[in-house]
Amino acid sequence: MSLFPYPNQRYSSNIGLSLFGMDEVLAENFLLIDAVYGAGSSINVNGVLVTSPNFSSTTPPAPGGDELVTFQVDANGNISAYVPTPAPGGVTSLTGDSVVYNNSASTGAVTLSLISQTKNTFLGAPNGSNGTPTFRALVAADLPTSGTWAFAGTISGNTIFSGTPTSTTNVNAADASAQISTDAFVQNALNLSMGTVPLSITGGTYSFFCQGSGATVVVFASGSISSIITWGGGSGYKVGDVITPQAGNYDAFIVITAIGGVSGTAPTAGTILYGGTGYGTGGAAAGSAAVDIQFTFLLTGVLTSNATFYMTYGTYLTTSQQWIFCNNTTGPYTVTVGLSNSTNTGGSGGRTAVIPQGTNNSRSLLLQTDGEANVDIAGVVNYADLGGTPTIPTQFTWDNQGNATANLTLSNANYTTTFNQTSAVAWLWANTTVATVSTTNASPLLELAANYWGTGPASAQDLWTIGSVLTAGLNKISNLTFTHTGTTGQAAVQVPLLDIGGTDAGISRLGAGVLAIGNGTAGDTSGGLELTIIYPTGDNTRTTNTAMMYGLAGNYTAINASGTIYLGINGGTTMRVVSNYVILGSGIPLQFTGDTGISRLSGASLAIGNGTANDVTGQITAKIHTLSDFGSAPTSAGTAGTVGQIVMHNGVLYFCSVTGPGGGATQWNTITLVPIL
């Protein structure tokens, strides 16, 4: 250690400790303390340890454009730093579309640095008025309206032209687009490039004159739209309006099937007619009216009702149009093309065109509209337009007839209709609806009608209907029914010979209203009639309210609704049974007084006794008792019996002397008979 020599230096160099008048060792200790104080402390600056630091307001110098702070210390050893305030009049801040730099001290250099903005925008004043500049898109009003513009390269994208070109060509009355000063002229030309739209339809209204606005639709798509996720907002829409989501390639078609929402006329549901191209999932795309300027419409799908297309309404100059419609749909319904009215509430009332069904575009029609009222089939060839003498068939083979697409009515006046066949071929009128266990299907109906003079008086239709009806279920009943409406007079079915289940020669006709049932010879009555109930026209003198009646020529048996049985002979009532007694023809009843001593023991067994049910203390007195054969000889081991029973088998009598169920408990005995000489 290097110390100050003693005693030449009287004070230490750092803190001024006194070194004189003391022991030499003590003076050296003071010098050590002074040296430690002189070494100072250490601090970390930006991660670097600095020993014996010195706070300076001048060194090292500040980087270019920046300024050093000034340090100061007071008598108490407090240290602080400050930045000198510049003189008034300096730059304190700079603002653009937002504050980009602050410098309240107004010292040092100021560097302008703008924040990122949306692409294809520029810093400009508001469109059409004075105001603070903002970053916005370019509009037509930002460009000069006079002078000549020169472009280097190719103009592409959505280019907007404003003003009038220096020269025009081919001016005509149909051009309402001021030539190419707007995009209408170019857009019309592009859309007439023979575009084709495939539409899958089921029936109902399809309007291309949608007047709604403000709706959005979110779809699920990967190129083509496959489903609709949700709808939002809008007003003025109608069920049947066809819209195009304003995204992708702007070529999808959706028909609105339900409306509601806050406005009451916002789309809430729809069906995709064509998914289009270039679409992606998500994003609320505007649901704007679909255009109908494509040239070809390919229609497919199974029709469940008639389909009507209402095309865009307008004027001769703006909406006159031509289309090719190819109807490849199936189902017994029609497809009609017409113009909408001016309010999109129905058709224009003008002519319409019905598109026939075909396959693989085999029934394609070229249509022409005047744009205001009518749609007509174009290119129809009349016979008078054909050169020479072309042969046009006047009849067609039966197997070459087309399927009906509407009801058919033929007014044949008094002309007869004859179908000649050469064999017993079938004429089938079939209901081809597939049956299920729960359906009730019926055949097509054959209706025979004529007019009768009815109440009014007036002529009215009298109608017979014949058809079969199947009951729902597995192998249920099938009935051939005859129904009648019209005259209130008697309606009957008359046949020369009613053959039920095969020809029966035993049934013949005796006369008006009389049949004979016999042995097969006409008029023979040796047969019989078996049935449950006969409802006669009534024989009120003898059998009021007759329910069943048998007999002929005054000899009969009848039962009326109250249960009285009548026996008639030669036209008179000989006997009738009423309640529990018989009344003879003279009116005197033949009656047996009831006997409570006779009761029923069990099946085929009676008890005769003292009047108590099942009592057997009574007796039977008769001149002759005949026993029927018991069926087999009873045995004590196997035949049950009751004491007193007598049975007979093969002329041998058996007597039961012990009651029992058999098996040894019963005792049967034979009765010895002594022959009478």
Last residue of a domain, one of 377, 410, 444: 377
Which two tokens mark 471?
């009951």
Give the phi and the psi of residue 506 in degrees, each rounded to 5: -75, -10
* 13 part of a folded domain: yes
* 383 part of a folded domain: no
Q: What is the pTM of this model?
A: 0.38
d(CA 308, CA 193) in angstroms, rounded, equals 25
d(CA 673, CA 579) in angstroms, rounded, equals 47
Give pLDDT, residue 111. Answer: 61
Q: Same domain for 257 and 304?
A: yes
Q: Same domain for 281 and 366?
A: yes
* 303 part of a folded domain: yes
Give pLDDT, residue 267. Answer: 94
d(CA 154, CA 175) in angstroms, rounded, equals 26
d(CA 169, CA 179) in angstroms, rounded, equals 8
Which two tokens mark 541?
């003198």
Give pLDDT, residue 381. Answer: 67
Give the phi and the psi of residue 235 in degrees, each rounded to 5: -160, 165
Q: Same domain for 192 and 280?
A: yes
Kind of pairing between the strands at 296-300 and 321-327: parallel
Give the phi and the psi of residue 187 in degrees, each rounded to 5: -65, -40
Beta strands in 20-105 (DSSP E): 42-45, 48-51, 70-73, 79-82, 93-95, 99-102
DSSP states along 110-143: ----PPP--TTEEEE--TTS----EEEE--GGGS
* H helix intervals, 146-194: 184-191
Counted domains in the chain: 4
Give pLDDT, residue 606. Answer: 80
Give pLDDT, residue 94. Answer: 56
Q: Same domain for 372 and 254?
A: yes
d(CA 449, CA 447) in angstroms, rounded, equals 6
* 162 part of a folded domain: no
Last residue of a domain, one of 319, 353, 377: 377
Cβ(566)–Cβ(557) below 8 Å: yes
d(CA 630, CA 648) in angstroms, rounded, equals 6
Give the phi and the psi of residue 370 in degrees, each rounded to 5: -85, -5
Q: Same domain for 579 and 632?
A: no
Q: Same domain for 230 and 321?
A: yes
Which two tokens mark 332?
């017994």
Give pLDDT, residue 75. Answer: 81
Interior/surface letters 502-536, b for 16+ CB within 10 angstroms, e for the rest: eeeeebbeeeeeeebebeeeeeeeeeeeeeeeeee
Give pLDDT, residue 259. Answer: 94
Q: Same domain for 584 and 630?
A: no
216 contact partners, CB below 8 Å, separation of at least 6? 231, 232, 233, 234, 284, 285, 286, 287
Give pLDDT, residue 173. Answer: 36
* 91 part of a folded domain: no
* 260 part of a folded domain: yes
The domain in which residue 636 lies consists of 626-677
Q: Closest Cα partner for 16 from 1, 2, 30, 36?
A: 30
* H helix intervals, 263-361: 316-319
Last residue of a domain, one of 562, 590, 618: 590
d(CA 319, CA 313) in angstroms, rounded, equals 7
480: helix, strand or coil: strand
d(CA 245, CA 313) in angstroms, rounded, equals 21
Q: Same domain for 580 and 632?
A: no
* 431 part of a folded domain: no
d(CA 639, CA 669) in angstroms, rounded, equals 12
Which two tokens mark 105?
């001290």
Q: Same domain for 360 and 229?
A: yes
38: helix, strand or coil: helix
Dihedral sign, Cα of residue 241, residue 242, residue 246, residue 247: positive
Spans in the chain with pLDDT lower than 50 = 1-3, 97, 99, 160-179, 181, 184-185, 187-192, 536-547, 553, 592
* 498 part of a folded domain: no
Q: Same domain for 550 and 675?
A: no
d(CA 156, CA 519) in angstroms, rounded, equals 106
Write the single-letter amino acid at 500.
I
**Strands, sheet with 296-300, edge to edge from the N-terminal-most edge strand:** 196-200, 296-300, 321-327, 364-369, 375-377
Give pLDDT, residue 496. Answer: 78
Tracing tokens 């049932």 back to the chain, one arrives at 517
Q: Same domain for 275 and 336?
A: yes
DSSP states along 606-647: EEESSSSTT--------S---PPB-SS---TTT--B-TT-EE
Q: Same domain for 226 and 356?
A: yes
